[in-house]
Structures are given as structure tokens and as C-alpha cells.
Amino acid sequence: MKRFLLLGFIGLFWLSVCSQNKALPPDQLYKELFVDVQLKSVFPDSKTFVDCTPKINPNEIVSQYRLWRKDSVSDESLKQFVNKYFIIPESSSSIYQTGIAETIEMHIIKLWSVLRHEPDKDKAGSSLLPLPYSYIVPGGRFREIYYWDSYFTQLGLKQSGRWQTIEDMVNNFSFLIQTYGHIPNGNRTYYLSRSQPPFFSLMINLLAGKKGDSVFSKYLGSLRKEYDYWMDKTSATKHLVSLPDGSVLNRYYDQDSIPRQESYREDFELSQKEATGADQKNQTGVFFRMCRNLRSGAESGWDFSSRWFADGQHINTIQTIDIIPVDLNGLMYQMELTLAHAYRVAGNKTEYNSFTQKAKARKSAINKYCWNEKGKWYMDYNIALQQQSTEFTIAGISPLFFNIASKKQASEAEKTLKQKFLKSGGVVTTLKNTGQQWDAPNGWAPLQWIAIKGLQNYNLNATAREISKRWTKLNLEVYKRTGKLMEKYNVENTSLEAGGGEYQGQDGFGWTNGVLLKLISLYGK
């Protein structure tokens, strides 16, 4: 039965096409070679192979593999084949470490150059989507630009006075929108089926703070195109959800339903296990639904968290596409306000009024569907159950960041944050320790900033300062021990490293650097 499922799913897997782009992702380029490499774990990290660059034409590699493969392939001989025909990306973790005698500010300033990529050159067979301007990558296994990471990285670039790099990155995102119709998760072919939390409007506002209102005019077309993508205007992306009272809110919804190419083995094994346990007539549907929910969890940036699990504990119950995330809708609200302002700058009163009303309606819907009066916290909303999620997550503070909460709601949310989320190293992501990286005991730089800035917006400055103090202290202590800045941190036991997830902790690290520099500029060390 398992072999039948494997063959059936692989057959359907090859039929999947990224219609947004002629450049094919690695699974379609390398077919059975891709499947063998990923399922046999030739590399410990599934992302390594999809980032490889072929030495010769991919079609020729596939032909050579079919001649060589025969009936079975040993793990060692398969690895030798890959090394013969591909350039393997280098591990770059050591280049992010410096002597601990160097101040953390100087360390980060040096890292901007290390993390910087010059404009890309098109490489045949590479999964990289070439970008025309320079950009900053997060670091470690993340060798490409990432969408929502980049906004928090830009906070630090601003403090470093690197406005040209900020503008280059905004230009790259505008280029991606104009070329592919949206900003992918990252500039890789295997990321084209999804986006990430849409921070483009905040990047535009950040750049406009330096260059003025001309920025809104320059990027208006791209911002509107991104909005239309999320609102199902350019294609049926299914990000838009209509609620019984006529309100519209958004969810995450990856456009594909196959295992993520960069985590193929992990997704395949989990989805196949669930499918095998289902009724035979439902096995295919279970497999692809599981894959879509995993991919949509990746679109959220919170990959993965009890936030998305039906039982609040186990990833096999993931239900991302059934959840209306409160923070995503805050971002959509911000996008609508930015579009309203951009149309006002352009002198288009009709569109200005339209987007002002859209933002007003969304704000009302967020407060109606997501504010939990009993818990004094903003919650996600489950459209399948037609009720609020029961999972408390730090995303519930995001309406303060977007100025959606009333003063009373903000004051009550501050108390809940202090009671439930504030730990010795900052704010924790969720209240559950499931082994997933977006759960306790981990804290993440972007979520610290959203909480701090949200509290500042309502003059709740003492708590904002306390979060900053604890997070900055933790960052400095880890740096003194290791000479590194990490992707995530253990905020509950600051003597331990953060863990969980599909890969080891990464250092570098773009958004940690950016948020830390911003906090030091506000509160010092």
C-alpha cells in the first residue's frame, strides 16, 4: 500500500506547475533524481539540494541519471553523482562569528557587508530568481532574500545610515511584484507558490520617512498589484475569506498542494503517514490537504506553531487554511491605509475614499472577530468552526502595532502580555512547548519589535522598555558567549539555546541585527 501511495503521489507531484514563472523549480527540473536525493537524505538539510547549481544542462543531468540509475541506487553512489554534476552551496556559518572583544554594534556593521548580495546573474538551472539590485540575506542556510525578514533588517539598516541598501531592497520587491504578480516567500523558484507576511507597505513608509511622499507615487502601482494578489483580484489565490456578516478578512493559502521542495522529505513522510491511515478513497485528498496546510504555514512565517494545530499540540493536525490570523489582517489594514495615502498623494480622491473605507471596515471586523473580551487578548479566528481559536499567541499584540485597538483594549492587552508572555529574555511566542520552533520557549526578534512598538503606540512605555531591556540583555549575553547573533532565542531559560523545528539554529542574522540596533538606539544597552 505504501509503495502504491508513493508512486501515485510522485506522479501527481510531477503534474504540479508553478504557472507564475517559466523557470521550473528543482522537482520539475530533476524529476526522479530530485525525489531520490530528498527521500534518501543525501544532505542532512533538505534545502541544500534545491539550492545547488547544475554544472551542465539539467536535461542532460536527468538523462545521465536515468542511464546510471538502473533498479536501485546506494546512498553513497547517489551522493557521488550529485557531487559530480552539481555545485553544492557552501556552509557559511563561520563567517558570521567575530571576536567577542568587538562591540555588538561594530559586529553588526561588519555583518551588513557579509550578508550583502550584489545584483544576481542569471544561472541556467539555478533555483535562484535573479534580482536587479543588491540585498541583504538573513544568514546561514538562508542564502536568498526573504520577504518579511527584510523589513526588520531594514530597521537596523536605517540606524546604520544604509538608505541605498534599503531602497535597493524595496526596488527588488517591486521588481518581484511586477514580474511574478506578488512577492514570493524568497527569490527562489520553489517559493513562487506562496508569499509571506506582507510588509511591503511598511517598507515604503520607512523609505518615505527619508525621501518624502514621492516614494508613495513611485511604488503605488506595485503596492496596488500586491494588494490585488492578496484580495484574489489578479487570480483566485483563495487568500480572501467572506464572513457571514459580509466582512472580508484574509488567511494564508499556498497555491500548491505538494510537499515543499525545500522540506520535501519531512512533508512527504508526514503527509504519507496521515494518508495511509485514512480511508482508501480519501487518501489522496488527505495527502494534498496536509501538504497545502504545511505550505500555508510556511507562508505565515510561523513554520511551525501550535497556533495552526487543531489539537494545539501535534503538527499532523495542522489547519492553517482554516485560520484567519489577526496579524495578517493587521498587515492588510496597514496596506489599505498606505494605499489610501498613496492615492491622496496622487490626487485620486475616489481611490483615497475607497481605501479609507476598506481600512475602516477591516478594523471593525478585526475587533469583532478577533478581540476576546474574556481573555483580554486578540485571537485568531477559525472559519471552519466559526469561532475564535483558543490558542494564546504573541500575535495577539499586533493590533496595537497597527493602531487597531482602543485605549481600553490596549491597556487590558498589556496586562495579559505581562501575565502570560513576558519572560526573563523577552516575550515568548506561544504558551505551549511542542518542539516546534514558533512555540515556547522561543522568542523572535520581529515579534519583540511588534510588541514593543505596539505598546509605545499607546504610551505603555514602561512595559515596552522592559521587553527591550530583557531582549537586548539576552542578545548581548549570547554574543559574549558565542560571538554570534542568532535567528531565535530561548527567552524562558536564557542559559540555553533555542531549539525546535526542521533545522539547526542559524546565525547571522538579519532581523535580529536590525531589531537590536533599533532597540539600542531607543533604550541603549
Pick the catalytic residue: 262, 303, 391, 414? 303
H or E stretch covering 150: helix 147-159
Whether residue 506 contacts residue 487, with contact meaning beta carbons closer than 8 Å, is answered with yes
Q: Where are the alpha helices (DSSP H) in 16-146?
A: 26-39, 47-50, 58-69, 75-85, 104-115
95 contacts 114 by C-beta, under 8 angstroms: yes
What interhelical angle do 200-211 and 326-346 show, nearest 10? 40
Question: Annotated catalytic, 303?
Answer: yes
Catalytic residue among 149, 274, 487, 507: 487
Please tell me the distance from the alpha carbon of residue 525 to that of residue 519, in angstroms, as a whole number. 8
Q: Comparing C-alpha atoms, which of 484, 488, 512, 490 is closest to residue 93? A: 484
The rounded distance, in Å, linking the Cα atoms of 43 and 259 is 17
Is there a contact between 471 and 448 (Cβ–Cβ < 8 Å)?
Answer: yes
Helical spans, DSSP H, in 347-397: 349-370
Is 213 in contact with 345 (CB distance < 8 Å)?
Answer: yes
Task: Look up 497 and say whether it is catalytic.
Answer: no
Nearest partner of 190 among 71, 48, 377, judged by Cα: 48
Work out the angle at residue 148's Cα, subtended by the Cα atoms of residues 358 and 311, and round it to the nearest 5 degrees. Answer: 85
Cell of 298: 510556511
SS3 233: coil
Q: Report how far residue 185's alpha carbon sits from residue 497's, in angstroms, rounded to the nearest whole number.
A: 26
Q: Side-chain half-sphere of 203: how many Cα atoms within 13 Å?
A: 30
Cβ contacts of 455 within 8 Å, gap of 6 or more = 397, 400, 410, 414, 417, 461, 463, 464, 467
- Using alpha carbons only, how large is the chain's radius of gyration in Å? 23
Using an 8 Å Cβ cutoff, are 183 and 198 in contact?
yes
Q: Cell numbers 520552533 label which residue?
A: 437
Neighbours of 86 (CB within 10 A): 21
Q: Which residues are catalytic?
A: 303, 487
